[in-house]
C-alpha cells in the first residue's frame, strides 16, 4: 500500500484574483449604496448587479458597430426610465424573468440613489451619442462611445462604477468615494 504525499500549494494567480474580486465586489456594493454586511452572499449579489452593465455593454457595442442613433437613443430612454422609475427598471425585470428564479441567484433590489445616478449619467452619454450621430458629428460620437465603453468595462471588469463615484463626490462624500474604490484597503 503506497502512501501519497499531501500536496501543499501556494496561492496561485487564480486565488489572488479571486481574493481581489471578493474585495472589489464588497467595494462595488458600497459604491452603489448597499451595506455588504446585510448581504447573504456578496459575490452573488454583486454578480446580480452586474447583469445590467453587461447588457448595456453589449448594447453599446451593437450601437458602435452599426453607428445607429436609434440604438443609442433607445438605450438612453431605457436607462433614464430605470433611473426615474427604479421599480420598473427593464433590465431588472429581464433579470428577474431569466435568472432570479434559479437557486442561489438573488433578485435585484430597487436601485438606490447612487445606482440611479449612474443610470442617468449613462443614459445622458447614450443620448449624446445619438444626437452626435444625428447631426452628424461622427468624431464626437466616436469619442463618447469610447468613453462609455471604457466606463462600462470599468464596472464589469474592475468593479468601478464611475457614475456612482461621481454621485458620491457631488454629494460631498469624498471620503466614501475614495474608500469605495476597488483598490482601496481602508475600512469604509
- Confirm if 122 and 79 have CB atoms less than 8 A apart: yes
Checking 63-66 for CB contacts under 8 A at 24+ apart, the result is 63/126, 63/129, 63/145, 64/145, 64/149
The confidence band for 20, taking pLDDT boundaries of 50, 70 and 90, is: confident
Candidate from 2-6, 29-33, 154-158 with smallest mean pLDDT = 2-6
Residue for cell digits 453589449?
58
Angle at 18 between CA 165 and CA 12, to 5 degrees: 140
Q: Return the pLDDT at 54.
A: 97
CA–CA distances in Å: residue 102 to residues 64, 93, 95, 107, 115: 33, 14, 11, 10, 24
Mean pLDDT value of segment 23-29: 89
Mean pLDDT value of segment 54-70: 97
Candidate from 3-7, 60-64, 70-74 with smallest mean pLDDT = 3-7
Q: Per-residue pLDDT for 3 more than 60?
A: no
Q: Per-residue pLDDT for 26 more than 80?
A: yes
The DSSP call for residue 135 is: T
Angle at 81 between CA 80 and CA 85, to 5 degrees: 120
The DSSP call for residue 180 is: T
Instruction: Kindly give, in sequence order, each residue whose CB lies less than 8 Å from that of residue 78, ignoring residues fewer than 6 positions away.
Output: 90, 91, 123
Amino acid at each position: 500500500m503506497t502512501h501519497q504525499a499531501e500536496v501543499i500549494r501556494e496561492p496561485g494567480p487564480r486565488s489572488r484574483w479571486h481574493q481581489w474580486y471578493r474585495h472589489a465586489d464588497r467595494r462595488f456594493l458600497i459604491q452603489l449604496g448597499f451595506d455588504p454586511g446585510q448581504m447573504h452572499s456578496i459575490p452573488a449579489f454583486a454578480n446580480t448587479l452586474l447583469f445590467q452593465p453587461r447588457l448595456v455593454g453589449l448594447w453599446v457595442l451593437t450601437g458602435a458597430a452599426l453607428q445607429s442613433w436609434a440604438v443609442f437613443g433607445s438605450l438612453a430612454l431605457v436607462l433614464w426610465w430605470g433611473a426615474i422609475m427604479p421599480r420598473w427598471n427593464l433590465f431588472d425585470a429581464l433579470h428577474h424573468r431569466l435568472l432570479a428564479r434559479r437557486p442561489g441567484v438573488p433578485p435585484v433590489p430597487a436601485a438606490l440613489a447612487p445606482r440611479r445616478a449612474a443610470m442617468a449619467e449613462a443614459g445622458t452619454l447614450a443620448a449624446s451619442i445619438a444626437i452626435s450621430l444625428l447631426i452628424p458629428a461622427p468624431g464626437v460620437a466616436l469619442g463618447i462611445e469610447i468613453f462609455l465603453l471604457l466606463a462600462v468595462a470599468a464596472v464589469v471588469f474592475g468593479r468601478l462604477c464611475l457614475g456612482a463615484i461621481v454621485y458620491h463626490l457631488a454629494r460631498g462624500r469624498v471620503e466614501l468615494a475614495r474608500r469605495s474604490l476597488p483598490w482601496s484597503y481602508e475600512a469604509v
